[in-house]
Amino acid sequence: MKTIIKTTAVLIASLYFAVNPASAQSNQTSKNQIMETSSIHYRTIKANGLNLFYREAGSNNAPVILLLHGYPTSSHMFRNLIPLLSGKYHVIAPDLPGFGYSDAPDHQQFQYTFDNLAKTMQAFIDELGLKRFALYVFDYGAPTGFRLALANPEKITGIISQNGNAYEEGLSKEWNPIQKYWQDPSQENRDALKDFVSKESTWYAYHQGVSDPSLIAPEAYTLDQHFLDRPGNIEIQLDLVKDYRTNVQLYPKFQAYFREQKPKTLAVWGNKDPYFLPAGAEAYKRDNPNATVKFYNTGHFALETHAKEIGSDILNFLDGLPK
């Protein structure tokens, strides 16, 4: 009896789609559209003379969110977040110069400063023709992204700062050796920071403050270390460490932007980050009444352990932004 019913159902369906081919085509088109918007595309574009790698997902007609990674990682850090956002948003995540799969010219041929990173990202958004976008910043992505916000306030619909610091009270004691180098940029102080790019330091950045280390995917820090170990990369990273002082000098300008523009802001913060303290997250509320702060019980790379929770909070936040 079940066989007869199943056969009859198949025949009815076949007759329906034979008479209504447009419906069958519509269903297939819908499936293709779903697959297209949920797929992550891996692309490269020329900007500021460099080949920049980026990940892209979601409909071209959807509101844009630009994801800017930090040290020592790349757009790979967003691999779990992008699928959560791309159903409703057009997600774009580039690798900064010197990181990931983007070009990493020798430090004597390219000026590794945060001004130049921002200049390159400005060229990137101009090449893509991005007119309006929400900005997600993390670690090095914060001073890079905030420079973009200062230069393009009309483009920014909102800001998500994931352990992206803009306040001196957010700097932990881990910055003390680096601040010593800022005050005295001698070769001796520069050489003292070479362990900054070691595999032990990278492992520490991923694991410190994490209650369940089994949630940390080993390919994440292994891939980061692969790029850090490229010949000449240590000089690139030490140049950026040296220039980070300019970000601290710009904190008052970033804070003035928050006060004057009052962009809707969501600070999502690993509360056990060894580098950027919770006080740096709370400080956003001091300058911006439109800032909301959420803490997660994890470390610096909060997406490694809390991607679903953070993704859900970001989606709720994005729903309230102007399109």
Can you give the pTM of this predicted structure?
A: 0.89
Decide: 318 and 285 in contact? Cβ < 8 Å. Answer: no
CATH superfamily label, 41-319: Alpha/Beta hydrolase fold, catalytic domain (3.40.50.1820)
Distance (Å, rounded) from C-alpha 198 to C-alpha 44? 28
**Does the active-site annotation cover 226?**
no
Written as tens digits, the pLDDT of the chain (323 aa) is 444 444 444 444 443 444 455 544 555 544 444 445 579 999 999 999 999 999 999 999 999 999 999 999 999 999 999 999 999 999 999 999 999 999 999 999 999 999 999 999 999 999 999 999 999 999 999 999 999 999 999 999 999 999 999 999 999 999 999 999 999 999 999 999 999 999 999 999 999 999 999 999 999 999 999 999 999 999 999 999 999 999 999 999 999 999 999 999 999 999 999 999 999 999 999 999 999 999 999 999 999 999 999 999 999 999 999 87
**Cβ-based burial of 152 (10 A; exposed 0-12, middle 13-18, buried ≥19):** middle
The b-or-e profile of 118-134 (16+ CB within 10 A means b, else e) is bbbbbbbbeebeeeebb
**Cβ-based burial of 156 (10 A; exposed 0-12, middle 13-18, buried ≥19):** buried
Catalytic residue (choose from 76, 90, 107, 300): 300
Distance (Å, rounded) from C-alpha 137 to C-alpha 140? 8
Token output for 269: 């913060």
Tokens 């004057």, residue? 260
Distance (Å, rounded) from C-alpha 152 to C-alpha 146? 10
Sheet of strand 291-296, all strands in order from the earlier edge strand to the far edge: 41-47, 50-57, 90-94, 64-68, 133-137, 156-162, 265-270, 291-296
Domain-by-domain residue ranges, the chain? 1-38, 41-319
